[in-house]
Amino acid sequence: MTFDATVNPVVYEGGVPVFIDTEYGLPISKIERTIGEIGADFGDGSYIIYVNAAMQDEETELGRLMHDFHCKDAGEMYSEVLAKRVRELKETEEGVYSMCQEMDEIYNEGMLRGEERGEKKAKKATAISLAEMGLPVEQIARGVKESVSIVQAWITEGMTVVK
């Protein structure tokens, strides 16, 4: 099976292929989901495939691909398709501009997510503090502009941590 045949279905279904180094010496490891308490297969058909990015041999297509993913210089790549794209992105004005735009987008999205997480964390801390002061959950929810169920979950979680 080619790399494209392996990754494209994952991307098509909304998944994100992630390449990591594994410690088992296998080129590919299939990790299936189980129910931890009883060790039974979760049965939803989903699984994670770990690709050992450290295995960069010349003999296999996967090894050559892992080699190419680690290359900084397109001239050292095995795949002409990847090398061509790397040259376009790194060595042309349009490519560099495009990559800068992408990096700006990633940065801005990260900043927005960070701000949202910070705001949620502050709301949660405020809700727990107000609950400790004895305010009713409904008032707290109005004050932090969240649903009563979310505020109740925060308070329950916060009180469990305090005990």
Question: 67 and 59 in contact (C-beta within 8 Å)?
Answer: no
78 token code pair: 């095995």
Question: 98 and 89 in contact (C-beta within 8 Å)?
Answer: yes
* Res 55: pLDDT: 81
Residue 60 pLDDT grade (very low, low, confident, very high; cuts 50, 70, 90): confident
Residue 2 pLDDT grade (very low, low, confident, very high; cuts 50, 70, 90): very low
Task: Flag whether 107 is in a domain.
Answer: no
Query: What is the mean predicted confidence (pLDDT) over 34-55?
Result: 80
Task: Flag whether 83 is in a domain.
Answer: no
Judgement on whether residues 11 and 61 belong to the same structural domain of the protein: yes
Task: Flag whether 14 is in a domain.
Answer: yes
2: left (phi over 0), alpha (psi -120 to 50) or beta: beta
Question: 139 and 157 in contact (C-beta within 8 Å)?
Answer: no
Note the Cα 153 to chain centre separation in Å.
Answer: 25
Task: Flag whether 85 is in a domain.
Answer: no
**Residue of 21, 42, 24 lying closest to 33 (CA atoms):** 42
Query: What is the mean predicted confidence (pLDDT) over 46-74?
Result: 84
Q: Strand 40-41 to strand 47-51: parallel, antiparallel, or no bridges (unpaired)? A: unpaired
Residue listed under structure tokens 């979950």: 153
Judgement on whether residues 7 and 69 belong to the same structural domain of the protein: yes
Query: What is the mean predicted confidence (pLDDT) over 45-64?
Result: 81
Task: Count CB neighbours of 21 within 10 A.
Answer: 11
Task: Flag whether 120 is in a domain.
Answer: yes
Domain that holds residue 135: 113-162
Does residue 141 carry a pLDDT above 50?
Answer: yes
Judgement on whether residues 63 and 118 belong to the same structural domain of the protein: no
Q: Is the dihedral of CA 21, 61, 2, 4 positive or negative?
A: positive
6 token code pair: 């392996």
Question: 66 and 56 in contact (C-beta within 8 Å)?
Answer: yes
- 74, β-bridge pairs: none
Task: Flag whether 128 is in a domain.
Answer: yes
Task: Count CB neighbours of 6 within 10 A.
Answer: 15
**Percent of the chain at pLDDT exceeding 90:** 45
pTM of the full structure? 0.51
Domain count, the chain: 2
